[in-house]
Chain A
Amino acid sequence: DADVTQTPRNRITKTGKRIMLECSQTKGHDRMYWYRQDPGLGLQLIYYSFDVKDINKGEISDGYSVSRQAQAKFSLSLESAIPNQTALYFCATSARGNYNEQFFGPGTRLTVL
């Protein structure tokens, strides 16, 4: 969905490096999410934010941090990357409301050597 963009699309880094993945959206949604996808494990929630001043840990937040710079921007950081953080990372957004209809970005493929 072009309304949700992620940069970079691919990244190769080395163990111990700090990296940042960025997400921007033009959907005007309040809520943003970061997921990690590993083969056979589905989508696991890392962090989520229901508005600019709200940050919440998901089920696998260890080793990650986030920043909600504006309603439209939500960044994910790996403070010291390790090889088992090699995965696909997706950003998603949803509107405020009773039902959690989420829209996903195209993903970032991260490889930690």
Chain B
Amino acid sequence: GENVEQHPSTLSVQEGDSAVIKCTYSDSASNYFPWYKQELGKGPQLIIDIRSNVGEKKDQRIAVTLNKTAKHFSLHITETQPEDSAVYFCAASIGGYSTLTFGKGTMLLVSP
């Protein structure tokens, strides 16, 4: 089955800096790569996703890039703010009848 590795497990940045979280996946048939943000005491919330026919997607301060050849994808957060502090999960799935396989998460701490 699919295996998703996520790095780093923790990331500390200063407010205004950029943050990058990287994930690799094992199954070249994977075609959907979402990113979730989980704030303390809440369920994960989808913040951005990318499909295998696209190399990059951007939404305001967040962007995701996908390298299908290398089987990795990354989340980029620019101009970080304290409210970006949370746990971030990447995931991958293979088509519409499969389930999501999640990475183990990255705890991002943005210091004022």
Number of interface residues of B (CB under 8 A): 25
Are A106 and B104 closer than 8 Å at their CB atoms? no
Among B12-20, B70-78, B89-97, the stretch that binds chain A is B89-97
Q: A104 CA to B93 CA in the complex, in Å?
A: 16
CB of B7 within 8 Å of the partner chain:
no
CB of A45 within 8 Å of the partner chain:
yes
Among A12-20, A61-69, A70-78, A94-102, the stretch that binds chain B is A94-102
Q: A103 CA to B95 CA in the complex, in Å?
A: 17
Chain B nearest Cβ from A42, distance in angstroms = 4
Are B104 and A42 closer than 8 Å at their CB atoms? yes
**What are some 15 contacts across the A-B interface (CB < 8 A)?**
A42-B6, A42-B103, A96-B96, A97-B96, A98-B32, A99-B51, A100-B34, A100-B100, A101-B34, A101-B49, A102-B34, A103-B46, A104-B43, A105-B43, A106-B42
